[in-house]
């Protein structure tokens, strides 16, 4: 029994114990996946030890490596939070990819076109929040649609968010190929023009790509934690996620909460896109974001849908992506091995019975309710 | 008589609870041995050990004198032990025969051999007087018959020892009588039965021996002839129990709830409440009697705002609350102990403290400006845990860890600690033990005496008769009659519940 009697008498000990409990399975999942990944590398005539040294060096071995890992982690954190928040509300948002793309498109447009449209130069202090905020809002509105369909018609959000991904990605493709295409005569790529200097999020250290978006991501993760556990709105979201019938009995407006949860989830996904544009790429380019929305599902699951877990999982995924290049350089092992390891991690976390069996961990009865079935 | 099953010195420790403390238990050939005890007394733990769902920390289980090791239900089935759980393990869209062969399929050239199974089911059904059609779809059978399917399932696997876990909890009085007849026939044919229950009357009616457990220990094994309801209850709870509810005369005041021509549809869109009218006054208990499924569930859902009603009106505390949101109705001062505590009443994964503010979390002092106030929630939880005697190691234990009786106390505590004018209690003691029932009955009477109106819905006639000042009988979505509690007999009520017309008796009044 996981007694939290210490919640008030000894908060630090209680917190540590809870953290250790929560981290155990994900950590063992990562370890097991790395061991199996090592076997795969050995089979490919590589040296697993050397490969992992390369991976680690590439991810954390130098200030530049650290900066790049943080850069990778930024969209992962936002998008992972998006999926995790929806899970807490009993919703499976597979549509982060599309919400992210729209967030990026909107942020890019605000970034390169708005000053021209208004005919004035915007100061950075207004331009950056405007680009980021409206980008996030676009993601929120796009996600609110499947939320609305779920709440008022019972249309399942899994199907609807997948469908809305197709709409979003194809619409983005059209926009980047025609009306929003970079008009520079040399340009043949489907991308927007560069955004104005005033819309670019500043970097933190001269010479590194690390930008303030990373710190914003950490701050937002903290805010989401506050929202979920310290506010009445969070109580409503969690109650609807855990038992919608009891939520209705408690007088919570279940339908409104579902729409709100999806909108908040989309807001976070939209932030992921908007921050990539304003902080890193300074434009939106077709294909840059492919996969963030889907990796986010893995990150949310690995992070046990807890904001702190999501941050850790996002940094892990970022480190693997970032370190893979150095690993390949050192050992000629293709970076695709990383995808194998990531897939294994997800497999072990999702089917944690395997990990519990291998390491003989007794299952606790509580399970995270991720999503309910049809008509649930 | 030979002993077919023996459990010796069984000890099982759960974190924080010694669920079984050196328990001895034996079952003789062809007897009905009742296991009596409050929730959390350890009887289910013992049965789960015998059935192979848990492993004991110490002790030994023997069948026919041979010590056996049970790792899983598969082993216990092999030793001839079968269990019928309180919640049936049946697939509604499968036929009786298909359900029975499930997990133990008979095949012929790789195809399911339904014919042979159906034949065997018919034989068993005939042999033990069970009377079940092997080709009927389980989902279309009444609960009593579904239970028989469960029993046949164990017999089909050659069970000689049958564990029935709270088998009468879901049955009507007639169905329960049928079950007892079947149990006796089974024992005559050599089957031995362990019968787990809290209901004292049943135990005395049907058991050959009664073992009582309290706090993980066996406190005694008695014969029905040598004991009485009162003695058994005292043994179970560990102190004298007042089985009869002490209550004085009601002092009814103003009308708090008035229902006029209310209609409600059930989930399939069929009319399940067809225009009922009644009122509840402050300081009285109006009981709604009726066999389950006669519209009581839908009636309560409409009154509490959980379901939309297409016709009729509901006035509560002077305002029209027809089809208002649950929150509006709650805020007007209605407390609701829901019929299905796991579905509506609690969020099982939440801590007890969080469940205790389930419908007040947004109001000061628990929610101020949209921010939860953990100190206030904590103080509230500690106060209620103590006041309502909720047995929990801490207010921060997930509510799923509590026994049924304590879960119900969490709901009762939450609902009655608010400022309310009316309590709607729907099956408030279903599945609870004597101690908890006594407690909740006392609370309901105390509420009445404090001037609350109480609408009590129950399928237990004893409960209705013990608590109500007036009794309404519901049959097929209508209120057949409303009678003064003192002026009506159990038999009369039973007849009305079965659909008899009250003509010539008291005149129905609203």
pLDDT by residue (tens digit) across B466-488? Answer: 999 999 999 889 999 999 998 88
Q: In this structure, are B426 and B287 located in the same domain?
A: yes
Residue B54 belongs to what domain range?
A: 3-237
Contact: B393, A5; criterion CB under 8 Å: yes
- Domain of B83, CATH number, reads 3.40.50.300
| Residues in B lying within 8 Å of A, measured between beta carbons | 14-16, 304, 306, 325-327, 330-331, 336, 338, 343-351, 354, 358-359, 361-362, 367, 370-372, 378, 393-394, 396-398, 400-401
* Residue bearing tokens 């050939």: B29
Alpha carbons B367 and B377: distance in angstroms, whole number: 9
* Residue bearing tokens 């989830």: A265
**How distant, in Å, are the alpha carbons of B47, B86, B204, B434, B460 from that of B233?**
21, 22, 12, 7, 18
Tell me what the mean pLDDT of segment B399-418 comes to.
Answer: 89
Query: Pick from B237, B271, B298: which residue ends a domain?
Result: B237
Closest residue of chain A to B304, computed from CA coordinates: A249
ipTM above 0.95, yes or no: no
The Cα of B297 is separated from the nearest Cα of chain A by a number of Å equal to 14
Q: In this structure, are B427 and B479 located in the same domain?
A: yes
Chain B residues whose beta carbon lies within 8 Å of the beta carbon of residue A4: 351, 394, 396-397
Tell me what the mean pLDDT of segment B262-280 comes to.
Answer: 90
Model confidence at B378: pLDDT above 60: yes
Please report which confidence band the pLDDT of residue B231 belongs to, taking 50, 70 and 90 as the band edges: confident
Q: In this structure, are B133 and B266 located in the same domain?
A: no
Q: In this structure, are B227 and B260 located in the same domain?
A: no
List of domains in chain A: 17-358 (1.10.3470)
pLDDT by residue (tens digit) across A211-249? Answer: 999 999 999 999 999 999 999 999 999 999 999 999 999
Least-confidence region, from A360-374, B57-71, B250-264: A360-374
Q: In this structure, are B214 and B308 located in the same domain?
A: no
Kindly state whether residue B369 falls inside one of the protein's structural domains.
no
Option in A234, A251, A365 nearest B400 (CB) = A365
Q: In this structure, are B75 and B17 located in the same domain?
A: yes
Kindly state whether residue B506 falls inside one of the protein's structural domains.
no
What is the pLDDT, as a whole number, of residue B243?
Answer: 67
**Residue B322's closest CA among B336, B335, B308, B301?**
B308
What is the pLDDT, as a whole number, of residue A3?
Answer: 41
The Cα of B347 is separated from the nearest Cα of chain A by a number of Å equal to 6
Q: In this structure, are B260 and B206 located in the same domain?
A: no
pLDDT by residue (tens digit) across B129-162? Answer: 888 888 989 888 877 788 889 999 998 988 999 9
Q: In this structure, are B215 and B273 located in the same domain?
A: no
Average pLDDT, chain B: 88
Kindly state whether residue B386 falls inside one of the protein's structural domains.
no
Model confidence at B449: pLDDT above 80: yes
Q: In this structure, are B80 and B190 located in the same domain?
A: yes
Please report which confidence band the pLDDT of residue B509 belongs to, taking 50, 70 and 90 as the band edges: very low
Query: Pick from B237, B268, B301: which residue ends a domain?
Result: B237
Kindly state whether residue B87 falls inside one of the protein's structural domains.
yes
Least-confidence region, from B29-43, B232-246, B496-510: B496-510
Least-confidence region, from A136-140, B47-51, B353-357: B47-51
Chain A residues whose beta carbon lies within 8 Å of the beta carbon of residue B347: 239, 242-243, 246-247
What is the pLDDT, as a whole number, of residue A369?
Answer: 45
Alpha carbons B456 and B472: distance in angstroms, whole number: 10
Residue A284: left (phi > 0), alpha (psi -120 to 50), or beta? beta
What is the pLDDT, as a whole number, of residue A62?
Answer: 94
Q: In this structure, are B122 and B216 located in the same domain?
A: yes
The Cα of B355 is separated from the nearest Cα of chain A by a number of Å equal to 10
Kindly state whether residue B381 falls inside one of the protein's structural domains.
no
pLDDT by residue (tens digit) across B303-317? Answer: 999 999 999 999 999
Query: Pick from B202, B237, B272: which residue ends a domain?
Result: B237
User: Can you read off the two tokens belonging to residue B313?
Assistant: 């009106």
Closest residue of chain B to A4, computed from CA coordinates: B396
pLDDT by residue (tens digit) across A22-45? Answer: 788 888 888 999 999 999 989 888
What is the pLDDT, as a whole number, of residue A11?
Answer: 65
User: Can you read off the two tokens belonging to residue A189?
Assistant: 């790529």
Q: Which residues of chain A have pLDDT under 50?
A: 1-8, 365-376
SS3 track for B349-404? CCEHHHHCCCCCCCCCCCEECCEECHHHHHHHHHHHHHHCCCCCCCCCCEHHHCCH
Contact: A250, B326; criterion CB under 8 Å: yes
What is the pLDDT, as a whole number, of residue A364?
Answer: 53
Number of domains in chain B: 2
Q: In this structure, are B316 and B442 located in the same domain?
A: yes
Closest residue of chain B to A2, computed from CA coordinates: B397
What is the pLDDT, as a whole number, of residue A124?
Answer: 92
Kindly state whether residue B367 falls inside one of the protein's structural domains.
no
What is the pLDDT, as a whole number, of residue B242?
Answer: 67
Kindly state whether residue B282 falls inside one of the protein's structural domains.
yes
Strand partners, B472: B288, B482
Quote the pTM value: 0.79
Least-confidence region, from B63-77, B92-106, B235-249, B359-373: B235-249
Strand partners, B374: none
Option in A5, A233, A249 nearest B326 (CB) = A249
Model confidence at B507: pLDDT above 60: no
Cβ atoms of residues B296 and B290 within 8 Å: yes
**How distant, in Å, are the alpha carbons of A115, A247, B197 from that of B163?**
78, 36, 11
Kindly state whether residue B263 falls inside one of the protein's structural domains.
yes
What is the pLDDT, as a whole number, of residue A365?
Answer: 41
What is the pLDDT, as a whole number, of residue B89?
Answer: 85
Task: Note whether A256 contacts B: Cβ–Cβ < 8 A.
Answer: no
Tell me what the mean pLDDT of segment B219-233 comes to.
Answer: 89
Alpha carbons A333 and A320: distance in angstroms, whole number: 14
Q: In this structure, are B214 and B99 located in the same domain?
A: yes
């Amino acid at each position: 029994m996981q007694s939290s009697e210490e919640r008030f008498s000894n908060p630090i000990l209680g917190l540590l114990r809870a953290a250790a409990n929560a981290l155990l399975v994900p950590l063992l999942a990562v370890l097991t996946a790395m061991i199996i990944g090592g076997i795969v590398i050995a089979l490919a005539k590589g040296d697993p030890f050397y490969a992992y040294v390369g991976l680690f060096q590439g991810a954390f071995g130098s200030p530049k490596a650290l900066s790049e890992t943080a850069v990778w982690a930024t969209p992962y954190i936002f998008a992972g939070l998006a999926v995790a928040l929806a899970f807490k509300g009993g919703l499976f948002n597979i549509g982060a990819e599309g919400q992210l793309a729209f967030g990026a498109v909107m942020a890019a447009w605000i970034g390169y076109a708005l000053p021209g449209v208004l005919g004035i130069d915007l100061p950075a202090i207004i331009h950056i929040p405007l680009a980021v905020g409206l980008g996030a809002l676009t993601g929120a509105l796009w996600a609110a649609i499947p939320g609305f369909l779920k709440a008022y018609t019972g249309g399942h959000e899994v199907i609807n968010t997948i469908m809305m991904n197709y709409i979003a990605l194809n619409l983005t493709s059209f926009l980047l190929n025609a009306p929003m295409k970079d008009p520079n005569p040399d340009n043949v790529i489907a991308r927007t023009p560069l955004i104005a200097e005033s819309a670019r999020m500043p970097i933190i250290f001269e010479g590194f790509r690390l930008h303030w978006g990373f710190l914003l991501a950490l701050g937002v993760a903290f805010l989401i934690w506050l929202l979920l556990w310290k506010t009445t709105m969070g109580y409503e979201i969690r109650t609807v996620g855990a038992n919608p019938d009891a939520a209705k009995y408690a007088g919570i407006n279940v339908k409104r909460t579902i729409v709100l949860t999806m909108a908040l989830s989309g807001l976070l996904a939209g932030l992921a896109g908007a921050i990539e544009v304003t902080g890193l790429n300074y434009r939106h380019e077709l294909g840059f974001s492919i996969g963030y929305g889907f990796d986010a599902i893995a990150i949310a699951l690995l992070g046990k849908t807890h904001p702190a877990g999501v941050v850790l999982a996002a940094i892990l995924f970022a480190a693997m992506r970032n370190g893979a290049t150095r690993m390949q350089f050192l050992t000629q092992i293709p970076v695709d091995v990383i995808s194998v390891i990531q897939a294994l991690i997800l497999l072990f976390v999702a089917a944690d019975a395997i990990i519990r069996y291998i390491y003989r961990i007794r299952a606790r009865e509580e399970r995270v309710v991720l999503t309910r079935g049809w008509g649930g | 008589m030979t002993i077919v099953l023996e459990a010796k010195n069984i000890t099982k420790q759960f974190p924080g609870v010694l669920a079984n403390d050196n328990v001895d238990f034996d079952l003789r050939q062809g007897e009905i041995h009742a296991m009596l005890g409050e929730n959390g007394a350890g009887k289910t733990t013992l049965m789960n050990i015998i059935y192979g769902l848990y492993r004991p920390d110490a002790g030994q289980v023997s069948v026919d004198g041979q010590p056996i090791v049970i790792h899983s239900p598969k082993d216990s089935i092999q030793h001839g032990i079968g269990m019928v759980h309180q919640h049936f393990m049946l697939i509604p869209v499968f036929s009786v025969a298909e359900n029975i062969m499930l997990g133990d399929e008979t095949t012929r050239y790789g195809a399911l051999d339904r014919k042979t199974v159906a034949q065997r089911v018919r034989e068993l059904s005939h042999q033990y007087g069970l009377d079940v059609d092997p080709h009927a779809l389980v989902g279309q059978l009444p609960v009593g018959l579904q239970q028989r399917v469960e029993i046949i399932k164990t017999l089909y696997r050659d069970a000689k020892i049958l564990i029935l876990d709270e088998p009468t909890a879901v049955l009507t009085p007639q169905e329960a009588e049928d079950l007892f007849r079947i149990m006796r026939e089974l024992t005559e044919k050599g089957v031995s039965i362990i019968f787990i229950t809290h209901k004292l009357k049943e135990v005395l009616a049907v058991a050959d021996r009664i073992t009582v457990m309290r706090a993980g220990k066996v406190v005694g094994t008695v014969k029905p002839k040598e004991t009485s309801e009162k003695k058994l209850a005292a043994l179970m709870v560990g102190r004298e129990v007042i089985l009869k509810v002490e209550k004085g005369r009601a002092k009814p005041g103003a009308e708090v709830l008035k229902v006029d021509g209310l209609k409600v549809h059930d989930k399939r869109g069929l009319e399940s409440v067809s225009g009922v009218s009644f009122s509840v006054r402050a300081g009285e208990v109006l009981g709604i009697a009726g066999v389950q499924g006669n519209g009581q569930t839908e009636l309560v859902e409409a009154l509490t705002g959980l379901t939309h009603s297409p016709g009729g009106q509901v006035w509560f505390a002077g305002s029209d609350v027809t089809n208002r949101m649950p929150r509006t109705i709650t805020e007007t001062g209605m407390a609701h102990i829901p019929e299905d505590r796991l579905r509506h009443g609690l969020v099982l994964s939440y801590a007890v403290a969080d469940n205790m503010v389930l419908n007040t979390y947004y109001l000061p002092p628990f929610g101020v400006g949209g921010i939860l106030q953990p100190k206030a929630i904590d103080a509230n939880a500690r106060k209620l845990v103590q006041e309502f005697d909720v047995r929990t190691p801490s207010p921060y234990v997930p509510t799923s860890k509590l026994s049924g009786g304590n879960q119900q106390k969490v709901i009762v505590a939450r609902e009655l600690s608010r400022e309310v004018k009316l309590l709607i209690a729907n099956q408030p003691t279903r599945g609870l033990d004597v101690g908890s029932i006594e407690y909740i009955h006392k609370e309901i009477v105390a509420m009445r005496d404090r001037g609350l109106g109480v609408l009590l819905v129950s399928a237990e006639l004893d409960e209705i008769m013990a608590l109500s000042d007036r009794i309404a009988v519901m049959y097929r979505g209508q209120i057949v009659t409303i009678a003064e509690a003192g002026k009506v007999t159990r038999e009369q009520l039973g007849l009305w519940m079965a659909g008899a017309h009250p003509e010539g008796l008291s005149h129905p009044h609203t």
